[in-house]
Amino acid sequence: MVPGVLEVTIVEGRSLKNCDFFGENDAYVEVYTEKKYKQRTRTIKNSNNPVWNEQLRFNIHKGDDTIHFDVYDNDFIGRDTIGKCKIRLKQIFDDGEFDQWIKLPTHFGLSSRGEIHVMMTFTPD
């Protein structure tokens, strides 16, 4: 893969699976190419259809081939996983951009735990 800068915009979520007994999710998204370097959005309280509109920047290095999105419900103690997904970076490298709703599949992929709207652009060094 070609080194460069990947700009990721976490636009919004919709129909996120509710993890709370009372009220709705306090949702945020962690984004990473490597587990040791994660970035995250702010927490949107009490919404299963949160709007973040947050931009994150990643330096892409040789060997980076996947970007991960982990969506969580922030709780008073700890957090619950709403859903996880990943995108192969080759798609963004080839097209230069990405603008899609990404499903958060269940463990067996038979249903969805909601989806997030993600936009990305890649600028090679």
Q: Give residue 20's pLDDT.
A: 67
Please name every residue paired with 10 in a beta bridge, in sequence order, or none if there are none.
54, 118
Distance between CA atoms of residues 17 and 45, nearest Å: 14
In-domain check, residue 92? yes
In-domain check, residue 85? yes
| Structure confidence at residue 49 as a pLDDT band (50, 70, 90) | very high
pLDDT tens profile 59-101: 998 888 999 999 999 987 778 999 999 999 998 988 889 999 9
Residue with tokens 């190419």: 33
Q: Give residue 10's pLDDT.
A: 98
Question: Which residues have C-beta within 8 Å of that of residue 32, sequence separation ≥ 6?
Answer: 38, 39, 67, 68, 70
**8 A C-beta contact, residue 92 and residue 99:** no
In-domain check, residue 125? no
In-domain check, residue 65? yes
Tell me which residue range forms the domain holding 62.
Answer: 4-120
3 state SS for the chain: CCCEEEEEEEEEEECCCCCCCCCCCCEEEEEEEECCEEEECCCECCCCCCEEEEEEEEEECCCCCEEEEEEEEECCCCEEEEEEEEEEHHHHHHHCEEEEEEEEECCCCCCEEEEEEEEEEEEEC
Overall domain count for the chain: 1
Mean predicted confidence (pLDDT) in 14-22? 83
In-domain check, residue 51? yes
Q: What is the CATH number of the domain that holds 14?
A: 2.60.40.150
In-domain check, residue 47? yes
The reply to whether the predicted model has a pTM over 0.85 is yes
In-domain check, residue 22? yes
